Amino acid sequence: MWALPLAVLGTIPAMGREAPSSLANPGQVNPADPGDRPNIILIMADDLGIDAVHCTGGPFKTPNIDRLAAEGTLFERCYSAPLCGPSRCQILTGRYPFRTGLISNDCAQAIQPSTEVMIPTVMKKAGYATACAGKWGQMSFGPVEWGFDESIVFNNGQGGRYWLDKGGGTYQLNGKPVKAPGKYFPDLTHDFVVDFISRNKNAPFFIYYPMPHVHSPILPTPDSAKGADGKQLYADNIEYMDKLVGRLMEELKRQNLDKKTLVLFTGDNGTAHFGVNAGSMLNGRPVSGQKGTMLEGGSRVPLIARWPGTTPAEKRVGDLVDFSDFLGTFAELGGAPLPKGVVLDSHSFAPQIKGRKGSPRDWIYVELKGKSYVRDNRFKLTNSGDLFDLAEAPFVEKPVPRDTTDKEALAARVKLQKVLDDHPTASSSGPSKEKAEKKQKKKKRRAARNAPVAATG
């Protein structure tokens, strides 16, 4: 468990510029009755954009995820960062990459528990039990150090995404290495989640469930036919992921927790190239871009919220949402105070989850490795000064000429540039904190070697 005392949260220095007033207010507490607080399960698929899930227009069979949308609300315009490290950091801290320093997958040490606060610490202050199950990568330390009560995660590069008995690998259980038992790791994570729910069903719980599917390598699932080709295996992995979602929903019903639990499903970034090659398309059309790109397909991901009796069924919401918004949303729903002294970018969409209008975002911000853009309902402006008309997004992003006389486009450029001015993109040429620390140590060692030796005798 994170050793930093909760009292210290109010003394952490603010980083970056002040957040716009329209965003969540640090220290705000939801006065809702504790009995109204839901259990919260955030399911996050790996490398799954809007062009994969059937209910958002994808070609693959996802009946259980489709049922989540039919019984809940589908948010049509949710945006992550284009790569897993920055997106996971953004969703857990409620802060944009330029604030945390985690601007790419190679600067995990930029974030430290002494300067950042993640969702589990926030929720624990409201009495929530917390757990993490699945993938933890491209971020420093592990879930336990960041405040999760319990966790099961696989070690990067040790076969956690598939049959561990073939690689002799290990996984981490509550921060300690455990020899792989020869079981499909996604099944292990499911069993862990079910056990955690069973032991904590009488108190509110928060589960961060970053599923191993459908990141590469794309290997056979327990349901795959022998000799299946790459495209079929990709479909198999999506279908097995969907199967686990269905099993989880059945477990909530079995334990009479269905109406007490808010389940959200999303993806950490857009579909990867191998998914595109395997046939991911949106209503039969390719989207603009894929994982790792600063295009719609790099960051636009599915988002479904289901809370029976509270979240409207069969509803679609076109409001803009980005990954910084989850922290503020969960804090509001759980009645948890937001950390003081930390600039948050989080804009709660809790009212929309409850079927209300709320106060939707005017724009979302996306950043990766020195590149950034801000997008509103119609236009997108990059930090290199390029303006795009998104009337046909996510399929087409039409460049707007610099000498345009279109009044709407001109007004959008002015408005969006003000947002970019308040969000100074971190330079990709600058070293990460990890690299900077190594460089500083080398400099000190070099200085010590070259220091003059005092005369003796």
| Greatest C-alpha distance within the chain | 89
* Domains of the chain (ranges, CATH numbers): 6-365 (3.40.720.10), 371-421 (no CATH)
The token pair that represents 104 in the structure block: 């790419």
24-40 tens-digit pLDDT: 433 344 444 555 899 99
Structure tokens at 165: 């008995």
Judge whether 50 and 58 are in contact, CB under 8 Å. Answer: yes
**How high does pLDDT run on average in the chain?**
86
Which pLDDT band holds residue 171 (cuts at 50, 70, 90)?
A: confident
pLDDT of 322 higher than 90: yes
Question: How many CB atoms are closer than 10 A to CB 285?
Answer: 12
Rounded (10°) angle between helices 63-70 and 230-254: 50
pLDDT in tens, 213-223: 998 888 889 99
Query: How much is the pTM?
Result: 0.87
3-class state of residue 24 by DSSP = coil
Question: pLDDT tens-digit profile of 104-117?
Answer: 999 889 999 999 99
Is 90 exceeded by the pLDDT of residue 64? yes
Beta carbons of 117 and 339 less than 8 angstroms apart: yes
Handedness of CA 407, 412, 415, 420 (dihedral sign): negative
| Local confidence band at 160 (pLDDT 50, 70, 90 cut-offs) | very low
Question: Tokens 């059309």 — which residue?
Answer: 285
**pLDDT for 219:** 85
pLDDT score for 161: 52
Type of residue at 172: Q
Closest CA to 243 of 402, 371, 66, 393: 66
